[in-house]
């Protein structure tokens, strides 16, 4: 089998591939797309970093391609949707840069406390200026870590070693996990108000974009020090610039930016109290060796018919199992996503129950798909069906799986329920119907429903009185939103109703607010499956 190494990965990784029997390894770096198209016709695997773009044209030309391996975390340079459509596995190496990024973050923290880069520049200019470069100690200071995942957790360990008080804001982190890590779990506002140092370790999503903006900076201590080695766009750079100029922020350290490369005339380059690095998070010899060897091993496993690891578009299983479990995987992912969006923000337990044929099958891939679905909207691009259980565990969420032999009235049935620390819960049941295995939701939060498990859902709980369905339909109609499907559920006359509406397009925020604010509607949640 032929493997094209299109970007320069660790020589140890290339050597590993060359040692495998039956592999032909071709190294070709810095290719234009035209030259790449001429090389990929007979390749079985492509290894890349961030330089080579795996476009639909490349995927179309690579007729034998089975796997694309990215030596790194992000797969922005790979068209994952196009690869999935063509049956090509896309894999990454999500853990290889953890220590490197955590250590770079702490380097920025130290430079923010002690202006070493500025002092070094002064020395190179022939000066001996001790008065201008006074700093502060980390000892007994408070650090606020926004996002206590893989990298944030490593930063916390190092901060504790320096004698710092560690505050953590992560809405999906349960108290028991925080206690085990010796950190204090707080709200974002509490963190902003108390921290002397703030560092962010989050994926860039709609919810985290500009998380630290003008309003957030106004809540911070005067002179706070800010750091971002995660993703550009989490901190609003215009707001940070203004806060640095006003003295509200005393120092900053950035490795990532809203637009990369950072413009030569960007004002951040001119401020003396800012340390900037050019996206060096994974730029250590150890990290590059780790991701290079890791992706080589993963590619070899796939081509050898072994396990699939760290795939962003496929569970870890062989092709025969995938064909059998495929419909259940998709349904499970949708149920997990639905429960996450309907349920409490801080979940400490997820229970998954299977009925029917799944009881006698290896349902672990379905369990993983459910966990992936649960994390899909809250953990960024790095989550997949392989690492979802690890990320769930890191959040302190317990996952219980039950195979029930009780009668469920369905040939196959999956239930996903989530419980919060405050006792609140959310649940959903789904099944496959017909010869084509169409996915249907048959119960939400204990209420019988009947609606397709796809698209955009509006889940409404309302007082049982005339006109509510018509009112919701009228609001959506005025907004130009077409209703594709609807299911009503009522326990007792005059009580509360559940209405599940499937729509073709996203309603506007104004329409959403009008529905939510209706006096007879107790809750209205919009869910994207």
Q: What would the pLDDT profile of 48-75 be if each residue is shown by its tens digit?
A: 998 999 999 999 999 999 999 999 887 8
Taking only the tens place, the pLDDT of each residue in 119-141 is: 999 999 999 999 999 999 999 99
Q: Does residue 386 surpass a pLDDT of 70?
A: no
Q: 């962010």: which residue's tokens? A: 200
Q: pLDDT value at position 176? A: 87
Assess whether pLDDT exceeds 70 at residue 322.
no
**pLDDT confidence of residue 274:** 97
Single out the residue of 406, 410, 459 nearest to residue 439, CA to CA: 410
More confident residue, 111 or 469: 111
Instruction: Give the C-alpha separation, 286 to 284, whole Å.
Output: 5
pLDDT score of 316: 60
Task: Give the separation between CA 321 and CA 362, rounded to whole angstroms.
Answer: 9
Q: How many other CB atoms are there within 10 angstroms of residue 175's CB atom?
A: 13
Which residue matches tokens 């959310």?
426
- For 509, half-sphere exposure in the C-beta direction (CA atoms, 13 angstrom radius) is 0
496-503 and 456-463 beta bridge pairing: antiparallel
Please report which residue ranges of 307-363 form alpha helices under DSSP H: 319-342
- How many C-beta atoms surround the C-beta of residue 493 within 10 A? 7
Q: What is the pLDDT of residues 208-240, one digit of tens each?
A: 999 999 999 999 999 999 999 999 999 999 999
Q: Within a 10 A sphere around the Cβ of 439, how many other Cβ atoms?
A: 19
- Share the mean pLDDT of the chain: 92
Is 9's pLDDT higher than 80? yes
CB atoms within 10 A of CB 162: 17
Q: Is the Cβ–Cβ distance between 137 and 162 less than 8 Å?
A: no
pLDDT at residue 138, as a whole number? 98
Chain Cα centroid distance, residue 228: 17
pLDDT band at 364 (very low <50, low <70, confident <90, very high): confident
pLDDT score for 164? 98
Domains 2-95+287-311 and 98-276 in one fold:
yes
pLDDT band per the 50, 70, 90 thresholds, residue 382: low
User: CA separation (Å) from 306 to 16, 131, 165, 302?
Assistant: 16, 62, 45, 5
Report the alpha-carbon distance of residue 43 to residue 5 in Å, rounded.
Answer: 10
Yes or no: domain 98-276 corresponds to CATH 3.40.50.720: yes
Q: What is the pLDDT of residues 398-420, one digit of tens each?
A: 999 999 999 888 889 999 999 99
What confidence tens digit (pLDDT) does each residue in 476-510 have?
999 999 999 899 888 777 788 889 999 999 999 99
Q: Is 2-95+287-311 a CATH 3.40.50.720 domain?
A: yes
Section 338-363 average pLDDT = 92
Q: Which pLDDT belongs to residue 388?
A: 82
Tell me which of 216 and 322 has the higher pLDDT: 216
pLDDT single digits (tens) 144-177: 999 998 899 999 999 999 999 999 999 888 888 8
Give the whole-angstrom CA distance, residue 227 versus residue 250. Answer: 11
Helical axes 468-478 vs 509-516, angle rounded to 10°: 170
Quote the percentage of the chain above a pLDDT of 90.
Answer: 74
User: With 60 as the cut, is the pLDDT of residue 319 above it?
Assistant: no
pLDDT at 321 over 80: no
Query: For residue range 429-465, what is the model confidence (pLDDT) as tens digits?
Result: 999 988 778 999 999 999 999 999 999 999 999 998 8
* φ/ψ bin of 147: left (φ > 0), alpha (ψ from -120 to 50), beta (otherwise): left
d(CA 399, CA 349): 6
Q: How does residue 35 score in pLDDT terms, banded at 50, 70 and 90? A: very high
Domain ranges of the chain: 2-95+287-311, 98-276, 315-454, 455-529
| Distance (Å, whole) CA 13 – CA 386 | 22
Backbone angles phi, psi at 17, to 5 degrees: -65, -40
Q: Which of 73, 71, 97 is nearest to 12 (CA)?
A: 71
**Mean pLDDT, rounded, for 239-261:** 97
What's the pLDDT at 313? Answer: 82
Burial class (CB in 10 A: 0-12, 13-18, 19+), 494: exposed
Residue 191, pLDDT score: 98
| Confidence band, pLDDT 50/70/90 cuts, at residue 320 | low
In degrees rounded to 5, what are phi and psi of residue 514?
A: -65, -40
Tell me the sheet residues that pair with 229: none
> Which CATH superfamily includes the segment(s) 315-454?
D-3-phosphoglycerate dehydrogenase; domain 3 (3.30.1330.90)
Query: Average pLDDT in the 293-318 region?
Result: 84
Residue 39: what pLDDT?
95
Q: Are 302 and 296 in contact (CB under 8 A)?
A: no
DSSP letter string, 282-306: T-SHHHHHHHHHHHHHHHHHHHTT-
Percent of the chain having pLDDT more than 70?
98
Ramachandran area for residue 525 (φ above 0: left; ψ -120 to 50: alpha; else beta): beta
Name the residue with higher pLDDT: 196 or 368: 196
Q: Give the active site residues.
A: 231, 260, 279
Say how many residues make up the chain.
529
- The alpha-carbon radius of gyration of the chain (Å, integer) is 26
**CATH architecture, range 455-529:** 2-Layer Sandwich (3.30)
End-to-end CA distance of the chain: 38
- Tokens at residue 367, please? 């369990």
Q: Which residue has the higher pLDDT, 333 or 76?
A: 333
Pairing type for strands 2-5 and 45-48 reads parallel
Distance CA 39, CA 378 (A): 38
């Amino acid at each position: 089998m032929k493997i094209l190494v299109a970007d320069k990965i660790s020589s140890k990784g290339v050597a590993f591939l060359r040692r495998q029997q039956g592999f032909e390894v071709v190294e070709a770096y810095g290719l234009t797309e035209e030259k790449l198209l001429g090389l990929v016709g007979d390749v079985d695997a492509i290894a890349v970093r961030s330089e080579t773009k795996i476009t639909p044209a490349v995927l179309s030309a690579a007729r034998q391609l089975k796997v694309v391996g990215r030596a790194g975390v992000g797969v922005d340079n790979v068209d994952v949707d196009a690869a999935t459509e063509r049956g090509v596995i896309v894999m990454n190496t999500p853990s290889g840069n953890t220590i490197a990024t955590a250590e770079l973050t702490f380097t920025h923290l130290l430079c923010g406390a002690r202006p070493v880069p500025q002092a070094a520049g002064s020395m190179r200019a022939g000066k001996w200026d001790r008065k201008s470069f006074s700093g502060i100690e980390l000892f007994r200071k408070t650090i606020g870590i926004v996002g206590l995942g893989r990298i944030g957790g490593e930063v916390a360990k190092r901060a504790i070693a320096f004698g710092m008080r560690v505050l953590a804001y992560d809405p999906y982190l349960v108290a028991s996990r925080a206690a085990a890590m010796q950190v204090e779990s707080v709200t974002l506002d509490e963190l902003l108000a108390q921290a002397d140092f703030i560092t962010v370790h989050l994926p860039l999503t709609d919810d985290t974009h500009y998380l630290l903006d003008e309003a957030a900076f106004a809540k911070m201590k005067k002179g706070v020090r800010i750091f971002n080695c995660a993703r550009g766009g989490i901190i609003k750079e215009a707001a940070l610039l203004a806060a640095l100029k006003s003295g509200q922020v005393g120092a900053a350290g950035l490795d990532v930016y809203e637009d990369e490369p950072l413009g030569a005339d960007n004002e951040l380059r001119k401020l003396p109290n800012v340390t900037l690095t050019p996206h060096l998070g994974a730029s250590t010899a150890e990290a590059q060796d780790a991701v290079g060897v890791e992706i080589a091993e993963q590619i070899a496993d796939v081509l050898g018919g072994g396990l699939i690891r760290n795939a962003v578009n496929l569970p870890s299983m062989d092709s025969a199992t995938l064909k059998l479990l495929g419909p259940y995987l998709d349904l499970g992912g949708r149920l997990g996503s639905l429960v996450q969006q309907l349920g409490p923000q801080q979940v400490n337990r997820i229970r998954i129950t299977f009925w029917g044929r799944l009881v006698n099958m290896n349902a672990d891939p379905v369990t993983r798909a459910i966990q992936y679905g649960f994390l899909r909207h809250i953990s960024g691009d790095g989550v997949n069906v392989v690492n979802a259980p690890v990320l769930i565990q890191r959040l302190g969420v317990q996952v219980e799986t039950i195979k029930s032999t009780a009668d469920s009235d369905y040939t196959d049935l999956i239930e996903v329920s989530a419980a919060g620390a405050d006792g609140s819960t959310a649940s959903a049941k789904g099944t496959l119907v017909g010869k084509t295995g169409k996915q249907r939701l048959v119960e939400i939060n204990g209420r019988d429903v009947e609606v397709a498990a796809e698209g955009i859902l509006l889940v409404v709980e309302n007082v049982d009185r005339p006109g509510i369905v018509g009112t919701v339909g009228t609001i959506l109609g005025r907004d130009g939103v077409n209703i594709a499907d609807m299911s009503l559920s009522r326990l007792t006359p005059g009580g509360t109703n559940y209405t599940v509406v499937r729509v073709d397009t996203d309603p506007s925020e104004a329409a959403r607010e009008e529905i939510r604010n209706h006096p007879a509607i107790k809750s209205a949640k919009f869910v994207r499956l």
